[in-house]
């Protein structure tokens, strides 16, 4: 029987993860099992697993996909963990011994990683059946490292209590600098949420590598880069939600300042431009300036659309992530039809429309 700590962690993080990512997981399930004739399903997947077990390159690709999935779970759990409604965990869960906390987080990560674990266990069974003992051991060790490393990360995050008397080196170094309005969340990010930002950047790197590896034969097609930048925008969706929470919690005074809507809109654009600096450097290194500017503008326009639709719907994470996934599917197909430049204009126009009409509305009226 699970402890009360394990039960509450499962309810908050494991259940929430599957609710948020149900659409993507269902799509992957259809790709894996819906594209093969039922009569050939078992033989097809057995052959696929044997290829995975016997080919080091294919095993590396599968391990990379599993790592990407795990990083996505880190991204979600870290985002939720530092949310306002989960702050009680920093004080209640730390009353348990650290070994007990670690065990509870292991159960959470095992539950979140069930798609990986099921495939890994079946693959190990197939490997043992065909006497491939070294690959079976490798798969087992890799899965144990993913689960144990994730649980250790979550435990460290929870036990790192927020201490207002301690500031990051960056914050101490820049304390006398002039800080424009748009920079406030950036300072907050690097002072309090460095791990979340690092996880997001790792996820961006894996998205770029994965997309260009998947479409290696057409890697120079503008649409491939567009899909990568769209996926990067989606990977920043939790940061966007956190920015809106930060804004409503600490920057409500801005609504009483004599700042025009246009200047405020540009300030939010500046926030996400600075957060996307690593991706911006990659764009200008890999592509010609005009293409790099277009791809960066597209990613920023999508992120701004995510940001400003939260003014319209309120801070409801479940509803927000559902709309993000729907938008991802719609925008993906629009990019495939080579309408990326048109999308930039449409996204920015809709984002500004939502911002202009909802920014000054009281939050309680939006939630109702």
Of the residues 162, 194, 217, the one at which a domain ends = 162
pLDDT at 302: 95
* pTM confidence score: 0.64
Pair 298, 180 in one domain: yes
Q: If you average pLDDT over residues 343-351, what whole number do you get?
A: 95
Higher-scoring residue by pLDDT: 346, 91: 346
3-state SS class at 96 = coil
Structural domain containing residue 292:
163-368
CB proximity list for 71: less than 8 A, separation 6 or greater: 199, 202, 203, 206
Which of residues 162, 192, 215 is at a domain's end?
Answer: 162
Judgement on whether residues 141 and 221 belong to the same structural domain of the protein:
no
- Tokens 């995050």 identify what position? 157
Asked if 181 and 267 sit in the same domain, the reply is: yes
**Looking at the structure, do residues 189 and 206 belong to the same domain, yes or no?**
yes
Angle at 139 between CA 146 and CA 112, to 5 degrees: 40
Same domain membership, residue 305 and residue 179: yes
Q: Which of 195, 168, 173 is nearest to 82 (CA)?
A: 195
Whether residues 72 and 95 share a domain: the answer is yes
pLDDT at 80: 78
Predicted local confidence at residue 345, as pLDDT: 95
Stronger pLDDT, 46 or 171, i.e. the higher one: 46
Asked whether residue 169 carries a pLDDT value surpassing 80, the answer given is: no
Q: How many domains does the chain have?
A: 2
Pair 139, 199 in one domain: no
Q: Of the given ranges (68-72, 88-92, 209-213, 339-343), which has the lowest mean pLDDT?
A: 88-92
Domain end position, chosen among 162, 179, 201: 162
d(CA 348, CA 176): 35
Q: Tell me, yes or no, whether 158 and 176 share the same domain.
A: no
Buried b (16+ CB within 10 A) or exposed e, 53-70: beeeeebeebbeebebbb
Over 70: is that where the pLDDT of 34 sits? no
Pair 61, 170 in one domain: no
Q: Specify whether 256 is located in the same domain as 321.
A: yes
* Lowest-pLDDT range of 91-105, 149-163, 354-368: 354-368
Q: Is 204 found in the same domain as 113?
A: no
In 3D space, the residue among 4, 13, 163, 154 whose CA is nearest the CA of residue 92 turns out to be 4
Q: pLDDT above 90 covers what percent of the chain?
A: 25
Q: Indicate if 128 and 188 belong to the same structural domain.
A: no
């Amino acid at each position: 029987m699970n402890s009360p700590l394990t039960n509450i962690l499962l309810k908050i993080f494991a259940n929430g993860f599957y609710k948020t990512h149900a659409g993507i997981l269902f799509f992957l399930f259809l790709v894996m099992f819906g594209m093969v004739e039922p009569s050939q399903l078992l033989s097809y997947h057995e052959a696929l697993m044997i290829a995975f077990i016997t080919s080091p390159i294919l095993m590396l690709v599968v391990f990379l996909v599993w790592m990407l999935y795990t990083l996505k779970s880190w991204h979600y759990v870290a985002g939720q963990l530092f949310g306002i409604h989960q702050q009680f965990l920093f004080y209640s869960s730390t009353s348990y011994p650290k070994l007990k906390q670690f065990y509870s987080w292991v159960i959470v990560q095992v539950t979140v990683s069930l798609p990986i674990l099921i495939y890994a266990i079946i693959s190990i069974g197939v490997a043992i059946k065909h006497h491939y003992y070294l690959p079976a051991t490798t798969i087992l060790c890799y899965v144990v490292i993913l689960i144990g490393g994730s649980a250790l990360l979550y435990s460290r995050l929870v036990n790192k209590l927020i201490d207002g008397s301690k500031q990051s080196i960056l914050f101490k170094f820049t304390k006398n600098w002039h800080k424009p309005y748009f920079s406030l969340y950036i300072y907050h990010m690097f002072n309090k949420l460095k791990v979340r930002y690092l996880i997001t950047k790792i996820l961006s790197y894996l998205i770029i590598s994965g997309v260009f590896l998947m479409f290696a034969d057409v890697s120079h097609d503008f649409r491939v880069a567009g899909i990568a930048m769209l996926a990067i925008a989606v990977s920043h969706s939790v940061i966007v939600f956190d920015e809106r929470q930060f804004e409503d919690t600490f920057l409500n005074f801005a609504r009483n300042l004599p700042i025009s809507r246009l200047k405020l809109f540009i300030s939010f654009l500046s926030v996400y431009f600075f957060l996307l600096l690593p991706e911006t450097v990659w764009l200008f290194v890999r592509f010609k300036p005009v293409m790099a500017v277009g791809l960066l503008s597209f990613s920023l326009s999508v992120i701004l659309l995510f940001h400003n639709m939260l003014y319209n719907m309120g801070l409801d994470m479940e509803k927000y992530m559902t709309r993000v996934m729907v938008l991802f599917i719609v925008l993906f197909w629009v990019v495939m039809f080579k309408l990326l430049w048109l999308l930039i204009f449409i996204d920015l126009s809709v984002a500004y429309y939502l911002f202009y009409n909802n920014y000054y509305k009281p939050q309680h009226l939006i939630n109702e």
